[in-house]
Amino acid sequence: MANKVNSKLFTNSMKDKVVIITGGTSGIGKALAFEFGRHGSKVVITGRNATDLNEAGRELKAAGIEALEINADVSREEDNKKMAEETLGRFGRIDVLINNAGISMRAAFQDVKIDVIKKVMDINFYGAIYATHYCLPEIVKNKGSIVGISSIAGFRGLPGRTGYSASKFALNGFLEVLRTEYLRKGVHVLTACPGFTATNIRMRALLADGREQKESPREESKEMTPEKCARHIYKATVKRKQILILTLEGKLAVFFNKWWPWLADRLVFNAMAHEANAPVK
């Protein structure tokens, strides 16, 4: 009987909560919108591409999910302010913020333009800073959750991903500070680190000159699906976990980097150097 009660509480724990997901038009963000929505949450998604945003909104509503789409670029502070204001105008509260919007890059540091690294930092790190700043008062009031979709690259630097790894290390540090500062105020902070997941992030990764690479160097069919990743993140949010590291590959990378960094350097280099058209060999 106890198991049934606990299961019911778990299933309904996000019912009627207002959940903002930045970058919610594809990949993990879109999967999270469906995952929280099917558990009864009111979902707000943001995105820069209006066509993709409207299509994702239609799909959510067709599935019976109450959703609001906001055309916003997380790298622009004013767009994040608008996001919080429009959410409050529609739903009157904010319970969960998922800082999901992100971009990757793939180039050796000696080759990459500095503007490419800056663009990655503006989206992956400052986007989370801006969004959290404007949603924080409501989340504190409601004792809600702040979730950062980080990466194994935020624990272990990846060759050829200078800007991406740097942005995720910065995000992890920000979330750790936030979790500690609000330790006694009932705010939950989750650092969620997927391993390689089958999304379009690698197709849109920026090359040394800022162009999108348009194709993935990995076998996407072998990676974790966004839907499975979203289920793990939903459960971790409900359980108010602090850190979530996904996939065996990801857990091993973090473990080896902590205890045998010299070995991790060699293992990571070899793994990344064997990718198609690897920028580091």
Q: What is the pLDDT of residues 249-268, one digit of tens each?
A: 889 999 999 999 999 999 88
C-alpha count within 13 angstroms, C-beta hemisphere, residue 96: 28
Q: What pLDDT sits at residue 218?
A: 53
How many CA atoms lie within 13 Å of 105's alpha carbon, on the beta-carbon side? 33
User: Is residue 126 annotated as a catalytic residue, yes or no?
Assistant: no
pLDDT digits (tens, 9 = 90+) for 56-110: 999 999 999 999 999 999 999 999 999 999 999 999 999 999 999 999 999 999 9
Domains of the chain: 2-253 (3.40.50.720)
Q: How many CB atoms lie within 10 A of CB 222?
A: 8
Catalytic residue among 130, 134, 164, 234: 164
pLDDT value at residue 215? 67
Question: What are φ and ψ of residue 96, in 5° steps?
Answer: -135, 130
> Three-class SS of residue 164?
helix
Question: Hey, CA dihedral for 256, 258, 260, 266, is it positive or negative?
Answer: positive
d(CA 166, CA 178): 18
Nearest to 114 by CA among 206, 245, 187, 234: 206
Residue type, 73: D
Report DSSP state, residue 36: H
Backbone angles phi, psi at 191, to 5 degrees: -100, 110
Cα–Cα dist 275/281, whole Å? 10
pLDDT of the residue at 238: 96
- Helix axis angle for 162-181 and 127-142, nearest 10°, is 20
Q: Tell me whether residue 157 is exposed, middle or buried, using C-beta atoms within 10 angstroms of its C-beta: 0 to 12, 13 to 18, 19 or more.
A: middle
Tell me which residues of the chain have a pLDDT lower than 70.
Answer: 1-12, 196-203, 214-223
